[in-house]
Amino acid sequence: MNAAARELYVCSGCSTLSRGGPQGERCPRCGAALSFRKPQSLARTWAFLAAAIILYVPANVLPVMHTEWLTGSQDDTILSGVLYLLWSGSWPLALVVFIASISVPLLKIVTLGGLAASVQLGSTWRPQSRARAYRVVEFIGRWSMLDIYVVAILTALVQAKALAHIEPGPGALAFAAVVVLTMLAALSFDPRLIWDASRDAAC
Ligand SMILES: [Zn+2]
């Protein structure tokens, strides 16, 4: 038995438990809109995920950094930046950039896609594990801006070393969009949906 089955709303604004106010689906305490689950949770998660997957391609294929100096210019993608760091001997930094910029967004997309697909199919498979996976994605979300810091550190490093002019490339814009879109996808997903299928199966 859960609150939704007893037609009790939990207010997202003030956590009040209620059957809705007199003027409809509004919290009687603070007036926030009430719903049993996040509205259109799955549709929104899928939409944000699809956009993130599409933009993940240009984020990795297009240059994220355009460097110009006296003798020439160079365009770097995330991967070529990682390889450059690796060759120049700064492998710890190469590892940080690889994890933050390539692995983490991919991990978030794959995990959220798997969670959304499992809810869509009404799966009752290991809800504890799936709930834990969602918490991990949510936790990583708080550190998503790490990617932006990495680009900032890289820019500072290169500018300190050489008299170069650095500009962000179109890939950086796509990359920032992927970070924001995966955060929105995680925010749209309602982890309570994982437990709804298990409860329905038990009934
Ligand atoms: Zn409220």
What is the 3 state secondary structure string of 109-127?
Answer: HHHHHHHHHHHHCCCCCCH
pLDDT-based confidence at residue 36 (cuts at 50, 70, 90): confident
10 CA to centre of ligand 1 in angstroms: 8
pLDDT at 21 exceeding the cut of 90: no
**Mean pLDDT, range 19-47, rounded to an integer:** 85
Span from the CA of 203 to the centroid of ligand 1 (angstroms): 30
Q: Which of 157, 186, 142, 162 is nearest to 81 (CA)?
A: 157
Please tell me the predicted confidence (pLDDT) of residue 203: 62
Q: Two tokens at 85? A: 């760091």
Classified as helix, coil or strand, 10 is strand
pLDDT in tens, 55-105: 999 999 999 888 887 888 888 888 988 898 889 888 888 888 888 888 889
Residue 123 makes CB contacts below 8 A (sequence gap 6+) with 197
Distance 194 CA to ligand 1 centre (A): 24
Domains identified in the chain and CATH numbers: 1-36 (2.20.28), 40-202 (1.20.140)
pTM listed for this prediction: 0.85
Three-state secondary-structure class, residue 69:
strand
Residue 60 pLDDT: 92
Q: How far is the CA of 113 from the centre of ligand 1 (A)?
A: 31
